[in-house]
Every structure is written in structure tokens, then in C-alpha cells.
């Protein structure tokens, strides 16, 4: 496994070697088995898998959140090697994204769910993703479905900007408790982890009640359950899987996704499940 400290070193290497069958897994480090599943899947599909480790300041609207983001570079590199990654981009300095034109064509995706609480977040995500895709030129890029809205944003970015890459959605990996794997989980203590494990249970509860109660009343019930658990809720909503629009009474349950975001011990956590995923549980 080779490690590159600048994007120029990496692209020069790819040019000299003539590497074209590239799978790419962009990360912000503090890696876990969820990232590992993306890397391992890419390894089975491509001659060469590249992983980036870069905490992008442009996508943090809260400076404290950026500073608190966990950083475990030595452990991350050990993980990547064990997962079969071939090349790693780990920039030593802040990347210059000034040549990337701001992306503003979000449709409704920059005004719902995560967006109101995180102004500038998706603009920052689009800048770094476009920069890396244009520089590395992978055939496919792999993202986890836990960040469902982010995937929708990046899919739109790829379509509008005509980026020559296929976005691959990979299933959310979960802890034995059901909690979605996240680098942010490391900031929770034992009590916080127990409380966070209620998040997937709330989603399953929503799907168990929606046929009887309907969408609006089920959302109200879940919000009340969060209050009872002293979970600081940002949203808990049914949305259309295809475009993340609000559901109507005519939306089939099979075409929905339930998304939730909350803060526990000062850590923002997100999760989601489609109807089919909830039924499978």
C-alpha cells in the first residue's frame, strides 16, 4: 500500500503507471468497519482501489465540530492495509479548492433535513468531491447509505457537472446494538452509546406503526418518544426514496425512507432506513 501526501504525487503516479481501473473511497478518517465494507467492495471490483483521508474544513459550519472530529491516522492506515487498499491520499496541508466552481443547483436538497442546521455543508461536500473526482478520475466512487441525503446531493452533482464516474451506494453497517457505524460514535461515552442505540429502534417503531397511524401521526409519536428519552431531535420524517420530497397520503409505504437526526452528548447523529430495510429487520 502506497501513501501520498499531495494530490500531485498521486496523479503523477497514476499517469506513469497508466492506472485506469480505479475504485475510489473518499473518507474523513477515523475509520471503522463501515468504511472497510466500502474499501473491500471496491477491491473486488477494480484493479486498484484508492482511499482518501481528509477532514475537509469547507463542509463544517461549526468550527468546534471540525476541531472535535476524531483523527486516528496511524490506526486508519493499518485498517486500510488490512482491507486491501492499494493507494492512500492523505494530504498534509489544506487542499486548494479555489478552482472548483461553487455548485448551487441542488433543487430541494439544500433546504431540507440536514441543510437548515448545517448551512454551507453540502456546498463544501460538493467542492471536495468534485475536486477529488476530477483529479483521480475513478471509474466508480463508493459511499455509504447512512449519509442518504449526501448521496442524493453527490448524485445530482455528478449529473449536472457531467462527471465521468459511477456512484455506488453501499448498505449502512451497524454495531451489534443496531447503531449505525459512524466516526462520531467515538465521542460518546457508555451512557451515550446506550441512548444512541435507541435511534434504529425508533425507525423500526415508525415503520411498525405507520400503516395504522399514517405518516403525520407516526412522526408525531416518534418525536414524543424522543422527548421521553431526552433525545434532542432535529427531525424524524418519512420521505420519498427517489427524491427526498415529503410524502403524501398517496405515497406507497414501500417507496418511503424514514430519516432521523438528533444530538446526543453534543454529537450530531443521523440514520435512516427504507421500508424494505425495516421489514428485513
| Residue appearing with cell numbers 405518516 | 215
Sheet hosting strand 256-264, strand order edge to edge: 232-240, 256-264, 267-274
> Strand 48-53 vs strand 87-89: parallel, antiparallel, or unpaired?
parallel
Check: CB of residue 256 under 8 Å from CB of residue 240: yes
Taking alpha carbons only, the member of 244, 235, 241, 237 closest to residue 216 is 237
One of 32, 35, 46, 121 is an active-site residue; which one? Answer: 35
- Can you tell me the distance from the alpha carbon of 48 to that of 242, in angstroms, rounded to the nearest whole number? 31
35 catalytic? Reply is yes
What count of residues does the chain have? Answer: 281
Check: CB of residue 83 under 8 Å from CB of residue 39: yes
Which positions are catalytic?
Answer: 35
Amino acid at each position: 500500500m502506497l501513501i501520498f501526501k499531495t494530490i500531485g504525487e498521486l496523479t503523477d503516479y497514476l499517469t506513469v503507471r497508466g492506472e485506469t481501473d480505479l475504485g475510489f473511497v473518499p473518507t474523513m478518517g477515523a475509520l471503522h468497519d463501515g468504511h472497510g465494507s466500502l474499501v473491500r467492495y471496491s477491491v473486488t471490483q477494480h484493479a486498484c482501489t484508492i482511499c482518501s483521508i481528509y477532514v475537509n474544513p469547507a463542509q463544517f459550519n461549526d468550527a468546534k465540530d471540525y476541531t472535535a472530529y476524531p483523527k486516528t491516522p496511524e490506526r486508519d492506515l493499518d485498517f486500510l492495509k488490512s482491507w486491501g487498499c492499494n493507494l492512500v491520499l492523505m494530504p498534509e496541508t489544506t487542499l486548494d479548492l479555489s478552482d472548483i466552481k461553487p455548485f448551487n443547483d441542488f433543487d430541494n436538497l439544500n433546504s431540507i433535513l440536514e441543510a437548515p442546521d448545517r448551512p454551507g455543508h453540502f456546498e463544501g461536500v460538493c467542492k471536495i468531491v468534485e475536486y477529488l473526482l476530477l483529479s483521480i478520475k475513478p471509474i466508480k466512487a463508493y459511499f455509504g447509505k447512512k449519509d442518504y441525503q449526501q448521496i442524493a446531493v453527490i448524485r445530482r452533482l455528478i449529473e449536472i457537472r457531467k462527471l465521468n464516474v459511477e456512484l455506488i451506494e453501499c448498505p449502512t453497517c451497524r454495531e451489534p446494538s443496531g447503531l449505525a457505524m459512524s466516526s462520531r460514535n467515538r465521542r460518546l461515552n457508555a451512557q451515550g452509546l446506550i441512548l444512541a442505540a435507541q435511534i434504529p429502534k425508533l425507525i423500526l417503531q415508525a415503520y411498525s406503526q405507520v400503516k395504522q397511524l399514517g405518516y403525520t401521526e407516526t412522526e408525531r409519536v416518534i418525536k414524543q418518544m424522543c422527548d421521553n428519552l431526552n433525545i434532542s431531535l432535529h427531525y424524524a420524517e418519512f420521505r420519498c426514496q427517489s427524491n427526498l420530497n415529503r410524502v403524501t397520503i398517496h405515497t406507497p409505504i414501500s417507496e418511503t425512507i424514514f430519516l432521523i437526526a438528533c444530538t446526543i452528548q453534543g454529537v450530531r447523529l443521523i440514520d435512516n432506513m427504507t421500508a424494505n430495510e425495516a421489514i428485513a429487520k
